[in-house]
Structure 1
Amino acid sequence: MIVYNVTSKVRWDILEGWLNWQLERQIPSIMATGLFDNHQVFRLLEQDEDEGPTFVVQFFTSSIDRYQQFVIEFGPAMQQEGYEKWGNGFISFRTLLESV
């Protein structure tokens, strides 16, 4: 199992809109590529939230090839859409995990 992990810290002033966009637009668009089998959304606890909360979205896929196809064909445009819509209201970093 391969897990594409996206961690995002979101400013309070855009939180409601950003979270709705994630749940209603961004995540469904990623799942619609057919390259991930499931996903899960988390809010990190015990974090400094002075500047805003931190969320983790994990996308699960069966192979590194499917993940790489997503990164090549869809990833950059989807990331750009977020930055165009929300500017510097959030910061994200991505990690790749493999179950052992």
Structure 2
Amino acid sequence: MFIYNVTIQLTWGIHEEWLRWMTAEHMPEVVATGCFESSRLLRLVEVDETDGPTYAAQYMSPSKAMYNRYISNHAEALRKKSFDRWGDQFIAFRSVMQQVFPNKS
């Protein structure tokens, strides 16, 4: 299992609307590409929230090839939609992790 993790810090001004959009539109759209089996959204705690909250959106992919397909075929368009809607009111950091334990294979 591969986990595509997107850590996002956003401004307080968009928080409620962004959270609705993320859970009702964006995350389902990412999963609908067929490259991920599921997703989850986590809020970081014990961090400085002066400028706004920080979340981690995680998408579970059964293989690196499926993740690569997402990056090649879908990521650019979905990232553009995010920037078109929210502009510079958020920053995002992306990473990919491989599940080691428990081993699901």
User: TM-score range, shorter-chain basis?
Assistant: over 0.9
CA distance in 2, matches of 1:72, 1:22: 22
Q: Which has the higher helix share?
A: 1
**Cα distance per residue 1:29-63 (max 9 Å; x no partner):** 00111110111110000000000000001100110
Residues 8-44 of structure 1, C-alpha deviations (whole Å, 9 max, x = no match): 0010001111111111110010011111011111000
Aligned residues: 100
Say whether residues 1:37 and 2:37 are aligned partners. Answer: yes
Larger Rg: 2
**What's 2:95 paired with?**
95
RMSD between aligned residues: 0.6
Equivalent residue letter for 1:71: I
Query: Percent of pairs identical after alignment?
Result: 35
Q: Distance in 2 between matches of 1:9 and 1:27?
A: 16
Alignment partner of 1:71 is 2:71:
yes
CA distance in 1, matches of 2:45, 2:68: 30
Unaligned runs of 5+ in 2: 101-105
Q: What is the CA–CA distance in structure 1 between the aligned matches of 2:19 and 2:91, rounded to whole Å? A: 13
Secondary structure at the counterpart of residue 60 of structure 1: strand
